Structure 1
Amino acid sequence: MKERIEESVFVQRGAMNQAQFDEKFDYNKPHLENEIKKQAKKFVKRFYEPFTSFVAFKLFILDLIPILKWFPEYKWKSDLTLDIVGGITVGVMQVPQGIAYALLARQPAINGLYASLFPPLIYMIFGTSRHSSIGTFAILSLMTGISVERLTASDDIILSSNETDTTIYPTPTEVSCAITITMGIILFVMGILRLHFLTTYLSDQVIAGFTVGSSVHVLVSQLKTILGIRGLPRHSGPFYLFRHLYDLATNIGRVNFVSLGISLISIVILVCGKKIVNPCIKRATKIDIPIPWELVIVILSTIFVAVSGVDSTSKVQIVNKIPVGVPEVSLPPFHLITKVFPDAISITVVGVSVWLSISKMLAKKMNYQLDSGQELFALSITSITSSFIPTIPISCSLSRTLVAVGAGCATQLSIFFSSIVVFSVVFFLGSLLATLPMVTEIRFSKKLIIIQAALSAIIVVALEGMFKKFADLGDLWKVSKIDFMIWVVSCVFTVALDVSYGLFISVGFALFTTILREQYPKWHLLASVKGTQDFRDAERYGESMYFKGICIFRFDAPLLFHNVECFKKSVDKAYLEWQKSHEFYVLREERDTILSPKLEDSEGSSDEKTNQTAQLSINTQSPDILSRHFVVDCSGFTFIDLMGVSALKEIFSDLRKRGILVYFANAKAPVRDMFEKCHFFKFVPKENFYPTMRDATSIARQRQLESVLMRQSLFYSSIITD
């Protein structure tokens, strides 16, 4: 039995203007009030629709808590081993990075371990990304540390505590928890209002330049700990980085060579282990599970300090104690939210932008769906709940994520196994890190505790991936000069000013370049591609042809207040270019072709012929039927404002004074609605608007033919009369 295939038959319609087209095909204009009601109803519907039926409520719960959807369908045979191996590998990295990044945020080391344990478990329940490693992140830790230094008591205040009440200042943990819950609230509001699209304003170049610039801040912040220089003053605000470098340079004679030695040895071990040893082991064993050299460094440095007693001989202070057991649960300091809110906005923007960009990239690569709205909700719940324990703001770590992908993590269940590793350290093995040298300056009982050089080395080596992005600048310059400038400006201002200032300046500059691109867009003269009904840029297609007396112009940008002058100048340039071409003089060619034989056959004096030619010239300039046509392709006008409408009126009036009829084609419905609101159709008849370029050019050529026939008729009438 042959299958019956139904084919759609398209009937070629005749040329028509926009008004005829809308009438024939029943165009319905949406009403603004109905559209507003529709959008409002759609927004409210999202909140009550889950409670309209049992099925809707079930689907709502499954979307709200994705683990209920993917865990029952978990592939135990194929994915369990991968998740166990990958999770343990990531967990081993979480421990040293959690400690190091906590101290970078001016927090007790245990806070970083808490941030590596509880937030990932909460995210595993609500998140949709299968590979992104949530936890501590160097850039957020640095930004948190800057806020902590600004709001907490300085070293000088602590030293004079017998005269000053230091209780009026919040503790570092209180500031960190306040930032964390504020971050969660901001993310929750963004999720409710579906504002995840705002992260698109942070382009890849903005993020890349900003992260590299922030990495410079992280690197400089670790120099004093690597060199073992103590007692340097705090600096904040614009250009603080250079003041800090000046202090380091003037105090270079106070270098602690033990700390410097530990740092250099740790860096050498980390680099050689990752670049030489791990690749060799991978080639030999065919197993893509790297040795966790960060943990090796922590263990070796801890054993060294415990055995050698260097903490007493070289004045290298140690942690002495990492709390073991369940963290203390308390309400976050709500009274600090107003003080940390500006910093929390910057931290939130950076954290969610890095998270979504990495998660989307991996989801696309691994061929699964990522729900950006649900991700905002998951991160908000994670941040809000974790703020009830001592913690630091969390996001996605690129280095751990790449390790997770390389180790073969298949689902979110790998988070559970990585948390087991961190759990064992937090609840059982914390006492083994008692001799761990510290990595940030904290005064306690008037003693200066020095950062652990090894942890500083871990932070510095972890920045290698960030600094590798400098290698992309060459290709970026070749592809786009503007994107190159966005990258450079983002990096330079982040380094020169401050992390927060750099972020907002970077976003502002990126948006400014968008305005510049729209202010000076390209314009084109279009021509018909031979053998088709398509109209394309004439300079790009050799197999194209112009129509005599018809100029087709396109402006590739929304027509808004900032580029209307550029639009009018572009029209003038297009007109001058058209005027210089042979296609502009269609009337003279038509006159010579049609009338020359008749003039040769007619008998009469030269004066009579002159009169006939003069009469023809008068008819040629008749305003009723014009033979030159200027077609504006409105397909590039995605938006138009009041000044844009005024600009179209000006060019319409100016070209009509030159004896040229102006057409508008391919105007989008919202643009035509704007024309109607501005009463544009009272100035330019609707008959001058056409749904396609084919309609506009067909009508123009038809009118040219009518003009020729009318002149021919007038000529014959004049001969008969004579």
Structure 2
Amino acid sequence: MDSISLLVGPPPNASRALNQDDFDTRYNFAKYRKKKTNTELIKQFAIGDNWILYQNPNSWTQILPITTWINKYHVKDTLGKDILGALYLSLLLLPQAIGFGVVINDVSSAVYSLFIPQIIYAFFGSAQHSSLGALSFTSIMIYCSIEYSKSQLSSISLCCAIIQLIQFLLPLEFIFSYISTSALSGFSVGLFIRIVFRFLPQFLVFRGHDCKSTTAVGILLPNTTNDVKRVLQCFYAAVPCLRSADTILIIATVVAAIVFIIFKWRLSRLLMSKIGFSAPHEFFVLLAVTLIIFFFQPDVAAQSTSRIDLSIPKIGLWALPSWATFFDSFAISIYAMTSHMQITKSIAEEKMYKVHRKQELFCFSIISFLSSLFGLLPPSSSYGSSQVNIESSKFSLVANVLSLIPTMLMVHFGAPLFNSLPICAIGIMIITSFNGWFSDLKSIREIFYSSTWDAAIAVAALTSAVVFPNVCTGFIFMLFCSVFAVSLKVQFPRMEVLAKLSDTHFSEENRYEGDCLDTPLRIIRLSGPLLSVNCESVRAELFKQAVVVKGLIGIGIGTRTASLRSQCPSAVGPKFSIQESVTARESVNLSANITIIQECDVSVALPPSEDTPAIVRFLVLSMNGVTGIDKDMLTCLSQIYGDLSSENIKILMAGVPAFIRDSMELLGFYNTVPRTQFFPNVQEALLSARNTVLPFHMSVSMNGYRDVIALSCAASNADLHRQPSPEAV
């Protein structure tokens, strides 16, 4: 049976549409206070939710997190494990600190930077594990700051302490939200490339005398250019340069590289599956190579130009930091905290406890301040799923504190060996330690298939880390690119036309095939912030939909007949288009509410005659996803409302958030757009539009019999199948 439902008004006993004012009155809406004192405004900015972590009665437990877990510490069950873990962590952290020191050309400061973080973090850190002091990407950032900005370690640590303390006191944590995972991954891959280039000369250096002059080539080939002379000179001098190299050192370095690679990709996983932990191979390999150089080539250690002083550092005065040092410290502090929170939160989720960034900022500020007194490094954690991060998560913070005892003993008794450290082997250890770069590179590749914005940010971050000589400047440039990308996203809010799938479900018109609406209207969903930069794009989209809604039929016909489907707005999508629409029917209302059916193409809208009353059409704006609005956008919406009203097109606003309505009330938006145009949801807006256009309801059923027409008060043709068949008239 083919049924056609002419919905010309609500069925009997149907309730009228519930507008926003009726909805607020029924459910006791709390109105916005129009005025706030200056004290309230300052308190809202400075405090707000900034100190919510410390507002409970036991806030001192948040400031001193050790009090939350030290009482639960089982000495008999855990202390023995932590003692063994202390020795194990010291064997892991000491080579990492040495690698950090080699990168920044200050091994002594890097080694002693292990001590302060382990003690302070046990008291003030919100996490239950720590890899502070290990090798991290901040090493190359500190090196670039020292090299290009002529900074000092004490000045860098002091500036980091000031920045972290300010971020702790004020609500400035939003800065970290601009550093997305894609930006952090791209910048970290760029830092890895810089570290590789940092140690590349250690592997490719020539020590022969013939490599330092092009005189011989110039005599033999006087007409060649300087570039050709250098190439030929290096070719002729290759054999003498290779002969001048240290054979034992080369063999030891190659063997160390093989061992590092085998442990990194094979043996570590095998040991983890067999015995539950991996061997501290970095310590034993460096120790073996150092002993070989110390005993078999003592002249190499004796010829070392820079002697490492491992005496305990003393308190010194700060040097006045320059602006370049301050900006470099800002980049170092932000990157160190971002990478620290990334790995710490992932481990915390696995161990089922929480980590608070604000408390971490407070702890880092204390560590940075104390480190600046002794000229040591600011705190930073090992990056990614490194061996240090994996193994340190198996022990409590007691093991980190106890690890300082064997570390101090090894530093004290092994001081003579530090001048024999093999730079080549340490360089290979540093490169193989950063195993997170490969997964970051894979994630960047995946980003290219999912989000163009994130891919562009990742590429910009990688490029800034490689191109800028001072990677701290590159980080600030990357942060600027991230903020700029966010501003571009704000300028293009999402505006989607919705199709009605059912009485309660609406979704994208270009993705779903919905039912025809029984009222000439279009539903546009707005999402994102509506600011002044968006005015023209919003205006253009609404006027575009206004042109479309003018071509819709005045009285909707709910049907599944193929000849009528092309007039349904939801059919304009992947399967249909206005240009390719099939022949449809258009209804023209007369003053006596009699419908005349005539054949026409919907793509060519017929202008109404003078005797035909004007049909009111609607644009329903679903604003549930609007996150903010300003005065310029409200002015723009007021102008659009007035322009479309003159064309008999009304704008209905559905689901407007309460804080958006507060802004509308404060800025006088209701003086132009009446409150009766606001509705709590799209369904109420559709009901209001239906009641406005169609004052009564009539259903016509064509049951297949000749010259038989039945009248019914059913709400739609779908309800005709659920009710007894209407009697013929």
Q: Structure 1 length normalisation: TM-score?
A: 0.77
Match of residue 562, structure 1, among 518, 528, 533: 533
**8 Å contact kept, 2:652–2:685:** yes
Question: Contact conserved, 1:181 with 1:383, CA < 8 A, in 2?
Answer: yes
Give 1:31 shift.
Answer: 2.5
Mapping of residues 481-630 of structure 1, within 5 Å: 481-498=452-469, 499-530=471-502, 532-542=503-513, 544-582=515-553, 589=587, 591=589, 595-596=593-594, 617-618=610-611, 620-621=613-614, 627-630=616-619
User: Secondary structure of 1:395's match?
Assistant: coil
Q: Partner residue of 1:264?
A: 254
Match status 1:273 vs 2:263 = yes
Distance 1:547 1:419 in 2: 77
Partner in structure 2 of residue 421 of structure 1? 406
Q: C-alpha separation between the residues in 2 aligned to 1:615 and 1:45?
A: 58
Q: 1:595 to 1:29 in 2, by over 3 A?
A: closer
Q: How does 1:237-252 map to 2 (within 5 A)?
A: none
Show CA shifts across 1:149-168 (max 9, x none). 2355xxxxxxxxxxxxxxxx
Q: Which moved more, 1:136-145 or 1:186-195?
A: 136-145
Give the Å deviation of 1:77. Answer: 5.0
Once the two structures are superposed, the pairs formed by residues 620-699 of structure 1 within 5 Å of their partners are 620-621=613-614, 627-699=616-688
Q: Secondary structure at the match of 1:396?
A: coil
Distance 2:638 2:232 in 1: 66
SS of corresponding position for 1:413? helix
User: Which residue number in structure 2 is paired with residue 300 of structure 1?
Assistant: 288
The Cα of 1:436 is off from its aligned counterpart by 2.0
Q: How far off its partner does 1:545 sit?
A: 4.3
Cα pair distance change 1:378/1:408, threshold 3 Å: closer
Superposed CA offset, 1:236-292 (max 9, x none): xxxxxxxxxxx9999896677335554333222211233333344445xx2122111
Indicate how the Cα distance of structure 1 residues 655 and 528 shifts in structure 2: closer, same or farther if over 3 A, else same: same
* In structure 1, distance between residues paired with 2:163 and 2:232: 41
Change in Cα spacing, 1:297 to 1:17, as seen in structure 2 (3 Å) is same
Deviation readout 1:425-471 (Å, 9 max, x if unpaired): 23x32335244236xxxxxxxxxxxxx22212211222343244222
Q: Tell me the equivalent position of 1:198.
A: 175
- Please give the alpha-carbon distance, in whole angstroms, between the structure 2 residues aligned to 1:46 and 1:670: 18
Give the corresponding residue for 1:62.
61
2:408 is paired with a residue whose SS is helix
Corresponding residue for residue 157 of structure 2: 180
The CA distance in 1 between the partners of 2:265 and 2:647, in whole Å, is 73
Cα distance between partner residues in 1 of 2:376 and 2:61: 29
Distance 1:371 1:686, change over 3 A: same
Distance 1:380 1:104 in 2: 24
**CA deviation after TM superposition for structure 1 residue 538, in Å:** 3.3
1:183, distance to aligned residue in structure 2 (A) = 0.4
Aligned ranges 1:148-159 → 2 under 5 Å: 148-150=146-148, 152=150
Amino acid at match of 1:475: E
Task: Report the Cα offset of residue 374 of structure 1.
Answer: 0.6
Structure 2, gaps ≥5 residues long: 1-13, 212-229, 558-584, 598-606, 699-729
How far residue 303 of structure 1 moved from its aligned partner, in angstroms, is 0.7
Q: What's the CA shift for 1:299?
A: 0.7
The answer to whether the 8 A contact 1:549-1:585 is kept is yes
- Structure 1: give runs of 5+ residues left out of the alignment: 1-11, 153-171, 233-246, 439-451, 600-613, 710-722
Task: State the shift of 1:345 in Å.
Answer: 0.8
Rounded Cα–Cα distance in structure 2 between residues aligned with 1:690 and 1:565: 25
Q: Following the alignment from structure 1 to structure 2, what is the Cα–Cα distance between the partners of residues 384 and 432?
A: 31
From 120, 141, 144, the counterpart of 2:142: 144
The equivalent of 1:112 in structure 2 is 110
Post-superposition shift, 1:360?
1.6
CA change 1:580–1:132 in 2 (3 A) is farther
Identify which of 33, 36, 42 aligns with 1:34. Answer: 36
Opposite residue 116 of structure 2, the aligned amino acid is F
Offset of 1:581 from its aligned partner?
Answer: 4.8
1:131 Cα deviation after fit: 2.8
Q: Which residue of 2 aligns with 1:215?
A: 192
Counterpart AA for 1:454 = A
Q: Return the alpha-carbon distance in structure 1 between the equivalents of residues 486 and 137 of structure 2.
A: 27
Deviation string, structure 1 residues 409-439 (Cα, Å, up to 9, x no partner): 243223123323322223x32335244236x
Contact 1:194–1:373 (8 Å) recurs in 2: no
Judging by fraction of residues, say which structure has more helix.
1
Q: Does 1:369 align with 2:354?
A: yes
Alignment partner of 1:374: what SS?
helix
**How far off is 1:588 after superposition?**
6.2
Separation in 2 of the partners of 1:263 and 1:292?
A: 18
Distance 1:328 1:199, change over 3 A: same
Alignment of 1:706-717 (within 5 A): 706=695
Q: For 1:643 and 1:407, how far apart are their aligned partners in 2?
A: 54
CA distance in 2, matches of 1:662, 1:48: 43
Q: How do residues 10-29 of structure 1 correspond to structure 2 at under 5 angstroms?
A: 15-29=17-31
Q: Which amino acid aligns with 1:691?
A: P
Q: 1:147 and 1:540 mapped to 2: Cα distance?
A: 52
How much does 1:491 deviate? 0.4
Q: Deviations over 1:512-532 (max 9, x none)?
A: 3333333334322223332x4
Q: Secondary structure at the match of 1:135?
A: coil
State the secondary structure of the residue aligned to 1:377: helix
Q: Is the 8 A contact 1:191 1:376 kept in 2?
A: yes
Is the 1:65–1:126 Cα contact (8 Å) retained in structure 2?
yes
Q: Tell me the equivalent position of 1:385.
A: 370
Q: Tell me how far apart the structure 2 counterparts of residues 198 and 615 of structure 1 sit (CA, whole Å).
A: 57
Letter in 1 for 2:349: K
Quick one: distance in 2 between partners of 1:473 and 1:359? 21
* 1:492 shift after superposition: 1.5
Q: Distance in 2 between matches of 1:698 and 1:36?
A: 44
Distance in 2 between the 1:667 and 1:229 partners? 71
Counterpart contact for 2:186–2:444, Cα < 8 Å: no
* 1:654-705 deviation per Cα after TM superposition (whole angstroms, max 9, x unaligned): 2212211221121122222222333222222222122222221111111112
Query: 1:359 Cα shift?
Result: 1.4
CA contact (8 A) 1:322 1:433 kept: no
Shift of 1:41: 4.4
Structure 1 residues 321 and 473: CA distance shift in structure 2, 3 A:
closer
Aligned residue-pair number: 621
The one-letter code of the counterpart of 1:20 is: D
Cross-structure match for 2:218:
none
Code of the aligned partner of 2:180 = S
Matched ranges for 1:128-139 at <5 A: 128-139=126-137
One-letter amino acid of the counterpart of residue 140, structure 2 = L
Letter in 2 for 1:68: T
CA displacement at 1:229 relative to structure 2: 5.9
Q: After alignment, is 77-86 or 111-120 more displaced?
A: 77-86
**1:47 CA displacement:** 11
Contact 1:555 1:567 in 2 (8 A): no
TM-score by length of 2: 0.76
Distance in 2, Cα, partners of 1:525 & 1:420: 67
Superposition RMSD in Å: 3.7
Residues 63/557 of structure 1: CA separation in 2 closer, same or farther (3 Å cut): closer
Shift of 1:332: 4.1
TM-aligned CA distance change 1:355 to 1:277, over 3 Å: closer
Displacement, 1:707? 8.4
Question: What is the percent sequence identity of the aligned residues?
Answer: 22
Instruction: Tell me how far 1:32 sits from its aligned partner.
Output: 5.1
C-alpha contact 2:386 2:435 (8 A) present in aligned 1? no
2:575 maps to what in 1? none
Inter-CA distance 267–209: structure 2 relative to 1 (3 Å threshold): same
Distance 2:479 2:554 in 1: 47
- Aligned in 2, Cα 1:78/1:39: closer, same or farther, shift over 3 Å? farther
